[in-house]
Amino acid sequence: MSAQLRTLALALAVLGIVPACSSSSSETGEDKKAVSKDGGTGTDSESSGGSSSGSDDEKSSGGSSGGGGAKTTVSTEDDTDPVGDDLVLLFSPMYSAYDGVHDFKLPAIVQGVQGAKWSANPADMVDLQPDSTTGGIMITTRKAGTVTIIARAGALSGSSELHITDATPEDWELGEMRYNNEIPFPEINIPDGGFPDGGFGDGGIPDGGFGDGGPGFDLPDDLSCRNCHSSLATALDVEHTPQQTAGYSDEDLISIFTQGMKPEGAGFHTPFPESVYTMFHTWEATEAEKKGLVIYLRSLTPKTQGALDFAGLRDQFGGQ
Of 56, 50, 46, the closest CA to residue 71 belongs to 50
Report the pLDDT value the prediction gives residue 153, as an integer from 0 to 100: 96
In DSSP notation, 114-143 reads: -S-EEEEESGGGEEEEEETTTTEEEEEE-S
Q: Beta strand pairing status for 117-121 and 94-98?
A: unpaired
Determine the pLDDT at residue 152. 98
The domains found in the chain, sorted by start residue, are: 3-24+171-183+209-299 (no CATH), 36-62+69-166+302-312 (2.60.40)
Side-chain half-sphere CA neighbours of 242 within 13 A:
33
- CA separation for the pair 214, 310 (Å, rounded): 38
Asked if 128 contacts 147 with a C-beta cutoff of 8 angstroms, the reply is no
Check if the beta carbon of residue 312 is closer than 8 Å to that of residue 269: yes
Reduced to 3 states (helix: H, G, I; strand: E, B; else coil), residue 51 is coil
Average pLDDT per 10 consecutive residues for the chain, totaling 320 residues = 46 43 35 34 36 42 45 96 97 97 98 94 98 94 98 97 98 91 62 53 49 50 70 66 93 88 66 65 85 95 86 49
- Cα–Cα distance between 262 and 99 in angstroms, integer? 26
What is the distance between the terminal CA atoms of the chain, rounded to a whole angstrom? 38
| Residues 187, 198 contacting (CB under 8 angstroms) | no
Question: CB neighbours (10 Å) of residue 100?
Answer: 11
